[in-house]
C-alpha cells in the first residue's frame, strides 16, 4: 500500500508540471500586464518595474526562474500585495482554507451520509421525501445565494453568529462559512447515499445475509453500508473541488483571509504570480485529496486493492 | 441504430414525466419573457427612477418587483440578466459540445495509444476545478462577454469528452461501424457519419444538464466581479448587488436569486427527464 | 408434525402491467430430515414459493395462505421470521458470488451467522467456521478464512455460501438452483456434498431446480410445478420411472442422456410457458399433446397414497414411455 501511495505521488508530478507550465504560459502570453491598470505609468517606470520583476527576460528564462523558485518553495513576489511574497500569502491563507475546507467536507459527510441512509431505510416515507426534496434544493441553489441568505437570517435577523471576520481560534466565526460550503455537498451526498443504499439493498448478498438471519440493523451497517459508501467516497474528489470553488465566494463574502480570497483578489488585479501560486497550491491539494480518496476506496472495497487480484 | 421508433418512444416517456414537462414549459415561458418581457415594461434596464430608489415590490410604485438602490426596475433588470446568463450558458455549452464531442469521439474511435494520450490530457485538466481555469483565462484576456463564454465552454468539455469516448468505444465494436470500416470508409467519415449521429441520445442529455452548470459558473464569476461587469446585468452580478444591500433591501437579492434557482431547477429536471426517457435502463 | 407446512399459499406481485399471480394455491409439507425437490421451468413459481415462505419476497410481492415452521405460523410475523431464518431455515441461492458480501472476509461472514444466533464468542465462532469449511470440503480452510469472496473460484464460493447457510445449524436447508451456475464437474461435487451433509447433519432439504439429474441424485420426493401450481408429486423413484402428467413426462424426455446422439437436436417441450394471466383451464393444455375439451376445466390434484397428479388424461402408471 505504501508503495502504491508513493507511485501515485510520483505519477502526480507530471500532472502538476503540466499545470505549472500551462498556467505560466497563459499568464505570460496574455495581453496586458499587472502594471497596465488604473492610470498609465510612465514608460520608464514601467520598464523599471518589469526589469525588477524579471518580466523583460525571454520566456524560457522566466519559466526556468519560476520553476527553480518553486522548487525552493518560492512562488515569487506578489505584484499587488507589495509587502508580501506569494509564499507568505500562501502560508497565511492555507491554514484558513484548509480548516474551512476540511470542516466543510467532514460536516457534509457526517450529515449527508446519515440523511441518505435514513431516507433509504425508510424508502417512500415522509422522511425520504423530505431528504429528497432537500437534496434537489441543495443542488440547484448555489453557494453565492446560500451565503447571503444564511448571513441574512442567522447573522442579521437572529444575530446568533458573526457575518464577517476571522479571529484565529474562534469557532463562532467559522460556523456560517462552513455550513454554507457544506450545504450543497450535504445535499449531493445525501442523494448519492440514498440511491446507493437502495441499490445495494437489492443486491443478492443482502438477501443472502437476511436469509442467514442477520438482524436488519446489522445487515445495514455491516453488509450494506461499506458497499454503498463506495460511490460516496468517489464523489469526495468532486466534493473537494466544489468546496474549493465555493471557498472563493465564501471567503470573499465572509471576509476570511484564505487562499480563495487571495485568488479572487489576484484575478481582479491581474496579479500573475499570486494567481499562479494559488492555482498551483489548489491543484496540489486536489491531487493529494484524490489520492486520499483512492486509498479510502481500497479500504472499503477489497476488489480495488492494488496487487490483490485472483 | 437510432430508429424513429426509439425517438418516439422516448418522446412518449418524456411527455409522461410531469416534472420534466413542467420544467420545459417554464423554461419556454422564461425564455420568452427574457426576450420580450423587457419591451412590455415602461422601464429601460438602466433607467433611473429618482422617485423610487430601493423600493420594495409593490404595484403602487409601478415597479412590481421593486427597484435597486439606483432606482432601476428589478423586473426588467432580472429579465435582462436572465437573458444574458442564458445566452452565455447556451453559447458556452455549444463550445463545450463541439470540443467535447469531437475529442471524445476521436479518442474512442482511435483507441489504443491515441486514446490513452487524449484521455490523459483530460485527466490532467480534471486535476483542477473548472472555475480556476476560467479564472486564469478571464484574468489574462479582456473581460468581454465573448471571452467569457468561450472560456467557460473551453473548460467545460471534459465530462462530455469522457461520456462520448465511453459511448464511442462501445459503438466501435458494433456491426454497422465495422461494416463501414470494411467498406473502406475513412476515419473522418466514420467518426462524423456514423459515431457522432449515434451518440445523440447521451449528448442531448448531458448538454441539457450542462446548461445549468454553465449558468452557475457564469453567475459565480459575475458574482465575484470577474465575469460580466456593470452596467450589463447578469444574474450573478445582480445577486452580488443584492447581497450588498440585503440588510436594508433583501428583495434586491431575492428577485434575481429566485430567478436563477428556478432556471437551474428547470434545466436539471428536464435533463433528468430526458435521461430517463432516452435510457430507461437507468431507472 | 411436519417441519415446514404451506397451505394454499398464493403469491402476487404488483407490476406496471397489473397484478401478477406467481403462485396459485400451493400445499406442501416437509418432514424433518426429508429431501423434497421442486422442479419446473423458470417462472413456474418454485423460487417465489420459498421466498414467500421465508418472508423474503421483493417489495412489490405479497403472500397469502398459511406458512408454518414447526407448527408456528410465520406469514406476517416479522419477529418470528427473523428468529427462524438462520437457525431454523437456511437458504442457499443460485448466485454464489452474489451471495457473499464482497467486502467481508470469508471468516467474518461465517462467524457472524453463528455469533448472531448462538451468542458464541468471536474466537469460538472462528474455530467453528474453520470446521464448517472443512466439512464442505473447501481446500486449505485456514487460508480461506482471511480471503475475500472475489479471491475464490466459483466452486469454492458456492461451498462457502453453503457453509455460511449451515453455520447457524438450520433444521431445514433450502437450496435454490444450487448448481446452475457451476461447471458440470463442480455440480457433481456439490450434489455429493449435499448428500453427505444430509447424512451427517440430519437436516431436511428443499431443493429447487430444473435439473432433473440433481433431483435423481438427492431427492426422496419430487414436486413438479407448472404456472404457479403443483401438477404432479410423488416419490422420486416412482415419478422418474412412470411420470403421469404429460408435462413431467416431457421434462424427463428433455433430459439429456449419456447415450444421446450428440448430433441430433435437443429434445424440448414445444411452446412456451403461459404468462401469469387468469385462466380457468389446465395451464398446460396449449402445449399438451393429449389436451381435450375437458382440459378447459382445471383438473384437481388427486391421487392415491403419496402420488398425486393434476390431469384429466394422466398417463398409464405402468406405461412409461
Q: Whole-angstrom Cα distance, residue A181 to residue A96?
A: 14
pLDDT tens column, B178-223: 777 777 777 777 777 777 777 788 888 888 888 888 888 888 888 8
Residue of B69, B63, B70, B66 whose CA lies nearest to B47: B70
In a domain, A83, yes or no: no
A163 and A274 assigned to the same domain: yes
Give the one of A210, A218, A222 whose C-beta lies nearest to C56's C-beta: A210
pLDDT given for residue C38 in this prediction:
94
Q: Whole-angstrom Cα distance, residue C320 to residue B107?
A: 65
Contact between A87 and A75 (Cβ < 8 Å): yes
CA distances from C314 to A139, C26, C28, C251 (A): 66, 20, 21, 15
Q: Whole-angstrom Cα distance, residue C306 to residue C234?
A: 6
Structural element, H or E, at residue C91: strand C89-92
Q: Whole-angstrom Cα distance, residue C106 to residue A162?
A: 53
Q: Which residues of C180-204 are buried (b: 16+ CB within 10 A; e: fewer)?
A: bbbeeebbebbbebbeebbeebebb
A40 and A95 assigned to the same domain: no
Give the CB-side neighbour count of residue A285, counting CA atoms within 13 A: 27
> Position of cell 481446500?
C139
Distance of CA B29 to the CA centre of its chain: 17
Best of C14, C82, C99, C144 to disrupt the A interface (most A CBs within 10 Å) is C99
- What letter would DSSP give residue B59? S
pLDDT given for residue B59 in this prediction:
67
| pLDDT at position B126 over 70 | yes
Q: Whole-angstrom Cα distance, residue B173 to residue B168?
A: 9
Contact B142 A31 (CB under 8 A): yes
pLDDT given for residue A39 in this prediction:
57
Q: What is the mean pLDDT of residues A109-123?
A: 93
Higher pLDDT, B115 or B111: B115
Range of the domain at A38: 14-71
Residue of C41, C45, C154, C135 whose CA lies nearest to C95: C154
Q: What is the mean pLDDT of residues C250-271?
A: 65
Mean pLDDT score of chain B: 80
| Backbone CA torsion sign across A265, A268, A273, A277 | positive
Burial (CB < 10 A; 0-12, 13-18, 19+), residue C50, is: buried
* Residues linked to residue C235 through DSSP beta bridges, in sequence order: C221
B48-62, B138-152, C120-134, C274-288, range with the lowest pLDDT:
B48-62
pLDDT given for residue B2 in this prediction:
47
In a domain, B57, yes or no: no
Residue C304 CB neighbours (<10 A): 7
Q: What is the CATH number of the domain that holds A251?
A: 1.10.3720.10
Chains that touch A (3 or more CB pairs under 8 A): B, C
Query: What is the pLDDT confidence band of residue A309, given thresholds at 50, 70 and 90?
Result: very low
In a domain, A4, yes or no: no
Query: What is the pLDDT confidence band of residue B139, given thresholds at 50, 70 and 90?
Result: confident
* Grid coordinates given for B225: 466581479
* Grid coordinates given for B29: 415561458
* Grid coordinates given for C167: 453455520
pLDDT tens column, C155-198: 888 889 999 998 988 999 999 988 777 777 878 888 888 888 88
Residue of B56, B158, B167 whose CA lies nearest to B109: B167
Q: Whole-angstrom Cα distance, residue A243 to residue A100?
A: 9
A46 and A95 assigned to the same domain: no
Count structural domains, chain A.
2
B250 to chain A: which residues are within 8 Å by CB?
A: 152
Segment of A76-85, A182-191, C70-79 carrying the highest mean pLDDT: A182-191
In the stretch 41-80 of chain C, residues with CB closer than 8 A to chain A read 54, 56, 59
pLDDT given for residue A305 in this prediction:
65
* Residues linked to residue C26 through DSSP beta bridges, in sequence order: C9
Q: What is the CATH number of the domain that holds B231?
A: 1.10.3720.10
pLDDT tens column, C35-51: 999 998 888 888 899 99
Q: Whole-angstrom Cα distance, residue B163 to residue B157?
A: 10
pLDDT given for residue C321 in this prediction:
43
Count structural domains, chain B.
1
* Grid coordinates given for A213: 438471519
A66 and A93 assigned to the same domain: no
Q: What is the mean pLDDT of residues C233-257?
A: 85
A38 and A111 assigned to the same domain: no
Q: Whole-angstrom Cα distance, residue A107 to residue A101?
A: 10
Residues of chain A above pLDDT 90, percent: 21
Strand, coil or helix: B67: strand
With an 8 Å Cβ cutoff, is A207 touching chain C? yes
Residue of C315, C174, B268 whose CA lies nearest to A141: B268
A48 and A186 assigned to the same domain: no
Contact A282 B128 (CB under 8 A): yes
Q: Whole-angstrom Cα distance, residue B195 to residue B104?
A: 11
In a domain, B50, yes or no: no
A166-180, B113-127, B162-176, C1-15, range with the lowest pLDDT:
A166-180
A209 and A265 assigned to the same domain: yes
Residue of B45, B252, B62 whose CA lies nearest to A145: B252
In a domain, A60, yes or no: yes
Give the CB-side neighbour count of residue B253, counting CA atoms within 13 A: 20
Contact between A108 and A185 (Cβ < 8 Å): yes
Query: What is the pLDDT confidence band of residue C122, given thresholds at 50, 70 and 90?
Result: confident
In sequence order, what DSSP letters do the residues of A30-79 get, joined into one string? SSS-TTSSSSPPPHHHHHHHHHHTTTTS-HHHHHHHHHHHHHTT---B-S
Segment of A207-221, A290-304, C16-30 carrying the highest mean pLDDT: A207-221
| pLDDT at position A163 over 70 | no
Strand C35-39 relative to strand C221-226: parallel, antiparallel, unpaired?
parallel
A120-129, B134-143, C220-229, range with the lowest pLDDT:
B134-143
Contact C85 A210 (CB under 8 A): yes
In a domain, B30, yes or no: yes
Contact C86 A213 (CB under 8 A): yes
Strand, coil or helix: C194: helix
Residue of A218, B142, A208 whose CA lies nearest to C100: A208
CA distances from A106 to A101, A243, B230 (A): 8, 11, 38
With an 8 Å Cβ cutoff, is C117 touching chain A? yes
| pLDDT at position A249 over 80 | yes
Q: Whole-angstrom Cα distance, residue B244 to residue B150?
A: 29
In a domain, B47, yes or no: no
| Backbone CA torsion sign across B209, B210, B215, B217 | positive
A32 to chain B: which residues are within 8 Å by CB?
A: 140, 142
* Grid coordinates given for C54: 421465508
Apex A245 CA angle, A243 and A246, nearest 5: 60
Region label for B112, one of left (φ > 0), alpha (ψ between -120 and 50) or beta (otherwise):
left
Contact B220 A245 (CB under 8 A): yes
B132 to chain A: which residues are within 8 Å by CB?
A: 245, 263, 279, 282-283
CA distances from B249 to A158, B44, B50, B65, C49 (A): 17, 21, 17, 12, 67
In a domain, B214, yes or no: yes
Contact between B79 and B235 (Cβ < 8 Å): no
In a domain, B6, yes or no: yes
Query: What is the pLDDT confidence band of residue B235, given thresholds at 50, 70 and 90?
Result: confident
Q: Whole-angstrom Cα distance, residue B263 to residue B215?
A: 9
In a domain, B58, yes or no: no
Structural element, H or E, at residue C136: none
pLDDT given for residue B142 in this prediction:
66
- What letter would DSSP give residue B52? -
Q: What residue of B is the nearest CA neighbor of A155? A: B247
* Grid coordinates given for C310: 393434476
Q: Rounded to a whole number, what is the distance in Å from the CA of C30 to chain A's nearest CA?
A: 19
Residues of chain B above pLDDT 90, percent: 1
| pLDDT at position B39 over 90 | no
Contact between A310 and C156 (Cβ < 8 Å): no
A160 and A256 assigned to the same domain: yes
A113 and A66 assigned to the same domain: no
pLDDT given for residue C273 in this prediction:
59
Distance of CA C5 to the CA centre of its chain: 15
Range of the domain at B199: 2-41+65-282
Query: What is the pLDDT confidence band of residue B62, given thresholds at 50, 70 and 90?
Result: low
| pLDDT at position C258 over 60 | no
A108 and A221 assigned to the same domain: yes
* Grid coordinates given for A105: 467536507
Contact between C9 and C65 (Cβ < 8 Å): yes
A133 and A282 assigned to the same domain: yes
A157-161, A246-250, B61-65, B279-283, range with the lowest pLDDT:
B279-283
A53 and A176 assigned to the same domain: no
> Position of cell 442567522?
A154
Strand C35-39 relative to strand C18-30: parallel, antiparallel, unpaired?
unpaired
> Position of cell 408454518?
C68
Best of B135, B139, B156, B221 to disrupt the A interface (most A CBs within 10 Å) is B139
* Residues linked to residue C172 through DSSP beta bridges, in sequence order: C89, C204
Contact between B49 and B72 (Cβ < 8 Å): yes
Mean pLDDT score of chain C: 85
Judge if the upstream peptide bond of residue B231 is cis by omega within 30 degrees of 0: yes
pLDDT tens column, A52-106: 666 677 778 888 888 888 888 888 778 777 778 888 888 888 988 888 999 999 9
Q: Whole-angstrom Cα distance, residue A289 to residue A98?
A: 12
Contact between A178 and A104 (Cβ < 8 Å): yes
In a domain, B55, yes or no: no
Query: What is the pLDDT confidence band of residue A186, given thresholds at 50, 70 and 90?
Result: very high
Q: What residue of A is the nearest CA neighbor of B240? A: A144
Q: Whole-angstrom Cα distance, residue C16 to residue B281?
A: 15
Higher pLDDT, A46 or C132: C132
Contact C103 A210 (CB under 8 A): no
- What letter would DSSP give residue A85? B
Sheet-wide strand order for C72-73 = C18-30, C4-15, C61-69, C72-73
Contact A267 B123 (CB under 8 A): no
Q: What residue of B is the nearest CA neighbor of A241? A: B129
pLDDT given for residue A219 in this prediction:
93
With an 8 Å Cβ cutoff, is A9 touching chain B? no
pLDDT given for residue C272 in this prediction:
57
Contact C116 A213 (CB under 8 A): yes
Query: What is the pLDDT confidence band of residue B282, given thresholds at 50, 70 and 90?
Result: very low
Amino acid at each position: 500500500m505504501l508503495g502504491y501511495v508513493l507511485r501515485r505521488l510520483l505519477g502526480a508530478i507530471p500532472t502538476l508540471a503540466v499545470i505549472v507550465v500551462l498556467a505560466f504560459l497563459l499568464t505570460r502570453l496574455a495581453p496586458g500586464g499587472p502594471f497596465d491598470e488604473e492610470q498609465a505609468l510612465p514608460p520608464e517606470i514601467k520598464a523599471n518595474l518589469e526589469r525588477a520583476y524579471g518580466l523583460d527576460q525571454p520566456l524560457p528564462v522566466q519559466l526556468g526562474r519560476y520553476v527553480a523558485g518553486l522548487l525552493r518553495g518560492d512562488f515569487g513576489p506578489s505584484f499587488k500585495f507589495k509587502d508580501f511574497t506569494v509564499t507568505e500569502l500562501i502560508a497565511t491563507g492555507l491554514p484558513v482554507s484548509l480548516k474551512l475546507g476540511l470542516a466543510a467536507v467532514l460536516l457534509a459527510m457526517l450529515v449527508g451520509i446519515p440523511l441518505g441512509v435514513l431516507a433509504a431505510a425508510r424508502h417512500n416515507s415522509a422522511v425520504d421525501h423530505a431528504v429528497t426534496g432537500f437534496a434537489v434544493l441543495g443542488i440547484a441553489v448555489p453557494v453565492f445565494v446560500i451565503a447571503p441568505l444564511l448571513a441574512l437570517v442567522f447573522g442579521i435577523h437572529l444575530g446568533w453568529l458573526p457575518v464577517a471576520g476571522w479571529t484565529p481560534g474562534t469557532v463562532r466565526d467559522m460556523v456560517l462559512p462552513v455550513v454554507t460550503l457544506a450545504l450543497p455537498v450535504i445535499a449531493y451526498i445525501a442523494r448519492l447515499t440514498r440511491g446507493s443504499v437502495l441499490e445495494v439493498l437489492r443486491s443478492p448478498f443482502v438477501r443472502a445475509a437476511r436469509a442467514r438471519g442477520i438482524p436488519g440493523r446489522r445487515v445495514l451497517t455491516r453488509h450494506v453500508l461499506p458497499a454503498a459508501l463506495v460511490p460516496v467516497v468517489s464523489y469526495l474528489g468532486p466534493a473537494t473541488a466544489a468546496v474549493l470553488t465555493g471557498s472563493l465566494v465564501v471567503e470573499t463574502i465572509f471576509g476570511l483571509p484564505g487562499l480563495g480570497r487571495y485568488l479572487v483578489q489576484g484575478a481582479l488585479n491581474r496579479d500573475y504570480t499570486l494567481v499562479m501560486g494559488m492555482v498551483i497550491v489548489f491543484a496540489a491539494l486536489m491531487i493529494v485529496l484524490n489520492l486520499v480518496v483512492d486509498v479510502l476506496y481500497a479500504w472499503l472495497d477489497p476488489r480495488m486493492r492494488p496487487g490483490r487480484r485472483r | 441504430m437510432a430508429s424513429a421508433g426509439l425517438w418516439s418512444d422516448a418522446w412518449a416517456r418524456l411527455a409522461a414525466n410531469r416534472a420534466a414537462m413542467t420544467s420545459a414549459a417554464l423554461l419556454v415561458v422564461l425564455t420568452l419573457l427574457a426576450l420580450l418581457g423587457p419591451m412590455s415594461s415602461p422601464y429601460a434596464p438602466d433607467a433611473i427612477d429618482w422617485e423610487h430608489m430601493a423600493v420594495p415590490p409593490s404595484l403602487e410604485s409601478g415597479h412590481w418587483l421593486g427597484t435597486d438602490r439606483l432606482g432601476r426596475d428589478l423586473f426588467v433588470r432580472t429579465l435582462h440578466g436572465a437573458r444574458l446568463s442564458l445566452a452565455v450558458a447556451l453559447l458556452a455549452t455549444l463550445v463545450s459540445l463541439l470540443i467535447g464531442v469531437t475529442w471524445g469521439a476521436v479518442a474512442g474511435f482511435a483507441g489504443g495509444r491515441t486514446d490513452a494520450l487524449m484521455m490523459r490530457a483530460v485527466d490532467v485538466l480534471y486535476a483542477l476545478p473548472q472555475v480556476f481555469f476560467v479564472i486564469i483565462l478571464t484574468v489574462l484576456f479582456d473581460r468581454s462577454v465573448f471571452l467569457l463564454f468561450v472560456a467557460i465552454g473551453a473548460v467545460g468539455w471534459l465530462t462530455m469528452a469522457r461520456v462520448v469516448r465511453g459511448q464511442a468505444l462501445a459503438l466501435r465494436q458494433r456491426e454497422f461501424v465495422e461494416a463501414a470500416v470494411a467498406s473502406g470508409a475513412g476515419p473522418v467519415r466514420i467518426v462524423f457519419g456514423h459515431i457522432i449521429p449515434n451518440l445523440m441520445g447521451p449528448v442531448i442529455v448531458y448538454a441539457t444538464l450542462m446548461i445549468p452548470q454553465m449558468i452557475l459558473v457564469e453567475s459565480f464569476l459575475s458574482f465575484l466581479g470577474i465575469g460580466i461587469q456593470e452596467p450589463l446585468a447578469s444574474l450573478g452580478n445582480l445577486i452580488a448587488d443584492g447581497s450588498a444591500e440585503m440588510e436594508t433591501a433583501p428583495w434586491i437579492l431575492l428577485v434575481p436569486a429566485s430567478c436563477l434557482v428556478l432556471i437551474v431547477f428547470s434545466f436539471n429536471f428536464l435533463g433528468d427527464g430526458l435521461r430517463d426517457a432516452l435510457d430507461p435502463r437507468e431507472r | 408434525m411436519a417441519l415446514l407446512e404451506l397451505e394454499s399459499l398464493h403469491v402476487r406481485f404488483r407490476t406496471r402491467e397489473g397484478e401478477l399471480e406467481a403462485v396459485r394455491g400451493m400445499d406442501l409439507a416437509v418432514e424433518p430430515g426429508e429431501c423434497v425437490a421442486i422442479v419446473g421451468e423458470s417462472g413456474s413459481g418454485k423460487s417465489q414459493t420459498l421466498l414467500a415462505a421465508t418472508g423474503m419476497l421483493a417489495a412489490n410481492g405479497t403472500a397469502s395462505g398459511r406458512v408454518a415452521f414447526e407448527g408456528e405460523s410465520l406469514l406476517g410475523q416479522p419477529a418470528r421470521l427473523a428468529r427462524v431464518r438462520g437457525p431454523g431455515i437456511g437458504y442457499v441461492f443460485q448466485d454464489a458470488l452474489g451471495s457473499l458480501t464482497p467486502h467481508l472476509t470469508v471468516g467474518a461472514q461465517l462467524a457472524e451467522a453463528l455469533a448472531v444466533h448462538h451468542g458464541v464468542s468471536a474466537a469460538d465462532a472462528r474455530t467453528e467456521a474453520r470446521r464448517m469449511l472443512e466439512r464442505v470440503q473447501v481446500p486449505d480452510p485456514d487460508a480461506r478464512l482471511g480471503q475475500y469472496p472475489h479471491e475464490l473460484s466459483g466452486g469454492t464460493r458456492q461451498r462457502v455460501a453453503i457453509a455460511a447457510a449451515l453455520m447457524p445449524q438450520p433444521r431445514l436447508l433450502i437450496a435454490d438452483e444450487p448448481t446452475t451456475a457451476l461447471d458440470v464437474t463442480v455440480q457433481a461435487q456439490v450434489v455429493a456434498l449435499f448428500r453427505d451433509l444430509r447424512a451427517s447433519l440430519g437436516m431436511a432439504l428443499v431443493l429447487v431446480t430444473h435439473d432433473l439429474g440433481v433431483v435423481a441424485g438427492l431427492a426422496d420426493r419430487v414436486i413438479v410445478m407448472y404456472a404457479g401450481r403443483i401438477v404432479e408429486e410423488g416419490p422420486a423413484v416412482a415419478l422418474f420411472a412412470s411420470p403421469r402428467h404429460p408435462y413431467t413426462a416431457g421434462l424427463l424426455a428433455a433430459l439429456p442422456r449419456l447415450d444421446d446422439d450428440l448430433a441430433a437436436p435437443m429434445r424440448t417441450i414445444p411452446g412456451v410457458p403461459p404468462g401469469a394471466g387468469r385462466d380457468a383451464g389446465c395451464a398446460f393444455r396449449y402445449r399438451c399433446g393429449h389436451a381435450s375439451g375437458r382440459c378447459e376445466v382445471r383438473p384437481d390434484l388427486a391421487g392415491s397414497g403419496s402420488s398425486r397428479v393434476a390431469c384429466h388424461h394422466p398417463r398409464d402408471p405402468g406405461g412409461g414411455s
